Structure 1
């Protein structure tokens, strides 16, 4: 690992701790987040040039605290309301790090995640703010990951911070009896980040490893904070088992390789083993939840040496449980695929019919229907659905794959009258 990479990794681990310490001390998340981002940039320059300090966390918090003081003074000079708020803080305290900055409270990172996933924010804003505040990514990096202009992402993050401030939310952990419910949006945001990295919604690349890696890192952080929570463990296991397939999902030219055609010897064995161990132990001790069920489904795939060896009846049973516990159209869609593999394509196609009212504009419904129609021996219907799916998706690798499937069917069964 190069010195620059080591510094970058360290800063991303320390970013939420520094922000938590500064935000807790001054009670102003919006300004604290900006101050910590400035401190991260300063640290990246100094540490690569002079080396990592003996106490990097204390160094980062002290610099962020000074920058916070500068910002408060600037705001105090320009706005009378801010002047009255800042005047309550002694000048010496403004320049000092938080009293407990060296050893932040255990729940600080979790509190920070809960704040970034505040219910007043939209999911895209929650994702962006989490990656910025907790992940330590720059606005430019987040914008690049989601293929939007940097000014657009900067505005999204700024509006998110302003909305949190307007909501009156304070930097403090929720009461113990509320923590489980408050944790659900955090897990959903991490799930969204992972899914965007695993199958990018648009652009030239199927996968974005930096996002899946960040989602897994943050999921590990949350599990360290709440190791007894079964759904946190389930989400981490799901990510590990799914991400293990990443090396086999694309060809050297970036083309998509479907699950049935993947070389399972290329799957990451360490991630697979860790995920299997985690979900096995979690299912044995924790109340079952949707992420655990999804991880259990991924585990069945991981345990099959070949695609033909997959225990599809077990997967069908797990999807039935998942539909009972957390029904939604995407679960039904995946359930239909499993039923088709276990009981034949017509049984799967029957489950797709009610989804037309919910997913008619989503490419995955048409892609699945195309695949099942192909299995059922209906090339004409399959080609039509493959083409519709290709038109609806904005992912170039998926477009290419779907069009290629349609072209292959046409070559195998050309229309009447075609020479």
Structure 2
């Protein structure tokens, strides 16, 4: 029997599922859609008492990544990113940083000003603008730097009873693995859990996630929960990952893009319920329209900005449905709610669920890439004075989103 709860500091999650932080995706409106969908998957009151004995029955939903430097400087965009949705039981913020002092200051701000109930540290981003400054998935290679950042964050958050977690990748590439050392270091520093995306930075999002690495991490980190991430496209995938690796929970990223109802399936699956959402196009259109409304509210009534940001979601929502190229193009050009209504009115909303074509991988998997790292980064596992000076300024060049 798989576990149906997951500890997060003083909180207990009734479903061991986490929405992965995704830049430009997991803002407050999308988190709200996913959370509402998760609640729809909860069994009737009394049907599964274990799920209802928790303070957060539906899992947890993490914000977009925000840089510690931007947060300390209180930039408008960073403060907007950490705004919670109205019904968030746990305000979960993912923080990025490469300078221990700046990360510590950002955590101090979040906890002393009561702006977060959970802080996740990003050590998994493979994007070049992050890794070339020594951040994201390449940072754990520097063992002393990784330890200093994690310890500092935990020390600042602990007096306020705010749990800190770590999300990471397997390493820079197969020749430079880091996840086992990093997992043990994070455990010793006092984090609430570690989550592993079972790819390296070099893998980017290509190929298949190597779930066997999650099992190895679970064997190495025994005092705190280990969560798995990578290629969870369905509730069945989540259950299979936990059964096959022994991990304590799952982190879901690209699988829910354009499919917030995946969280209905996930919560139902962990409650041993057969409920699964198989939406016709009319249902998809209604969710998309609500997404747009929430985006407009989030951007203080600025329809142009809201709809422009929503355009990236259109192909995800329409994946697998027999919607013509002209209609798809029209959806990617919407600039207002009126434009969206016109585009949706042109669709055949009676189309049924198309089956497996609407499932599976979302977005582009891409191909393996040679990670960009600072000069001399791979020469040693420690940070020298030259790199220390570079890291102190590195966050200036990474956006708050």
TM-score in same-fold range (> 0.5): no
Greater helix share, 1 or 2? 1
Larger Rg: 1
Greater strand share, 1 or 2? 2
Q: Which has the higher contact order (CA 8 A, sep 6+)?
A: 2
